[in-house]
Copies of this chain bind each other. A is one copy, B any other.
Amino acid sequence: MDADGQFGGDGRRSWRIGQLAEATGVSVRTLRHYDEIGLVVPSSRNPAGHRRYLETDVRRLHQAIALRGFGLSLAEVRTVLDDAGSDPGGLLRRQLDQVEDRIQHDQRLRRTLLRALGVLDLMAEPSVSQLVELIEVITVIDRPLTPEQLEELAEGRRRMVEQLSPEQLQEMSRQRERLMDQLDPDELAELNRNRASLMPPTP
């Protein structure tokens, strides 16, 4: 039986590019790319020029995929695999720093988005232009709203509500419920805290 592989004269298993892609979850194009840049070059080709990957190539590929998963660029992956006397502890340490920075940044972004969702809910018929103003308020000012801004929001809401038909009002409340339903309890709690924090501090 030799359905998913092939054995050379030396008895060692070899892989076709498609089989290897399937087995590792990367694309055939990716394998060709790694070959092109010399990162993972198949040990041989068959007479027709088809790539034949041997065990040693497969191992190197697995290593490359793992390192890439650590966030290394392909150039960095190459220097590590070719061991340019680099320092593994420092390498991991730098990667750790990068991930932690990105987590920090994303957590700030997450809070901003939750805050924006909170304010959006205060507004009547939040049009995109209003959203954009809101974003400016939140990101540029990044402070609790002034009483005037709150009044402006409330006034806009009143004006809109007056002009809406009962059906439109119902639709709005349905939309709002849908939005709230999509938030998990943690997010909802944070959103409510944010909404409260938008109000200027009571003296």
Contact = CB atoms under 8 A, between A and B. Distances in A.
Contact of A92 (B91, B95, B116, B175): B116
Provide the main secondary structure of the chain A interface.
helix
A129 B112 CA distance: 43
B66 A139 contact: yes
A83 B129 contact: yes
A91 B107 CA distance: 18
Interface residues of A, number: 47
A147 to B, nearest CB: 24
A47 interface: no
A160 to B, nearest CB: 14
Give the oligomeric copy count.
2
Interface in A72-111: 80-81, 83, 86, 88-89, 91-93, 95-96, 99-100, 102-103, 106-107, 109-110
A1 interface: no
A96 B67 contact: no
A105 to B, nearest CB: 9
Interface of A: 62-63, 66-67, 69-71, 80-81, 83, 86, 88-89, 91-93, 95-96, 99-100, 102-103, 106-107, 109-110, 112-114, 116-117, 120, 126-132, 135-136, 139-140, 175, 179, 182, 187
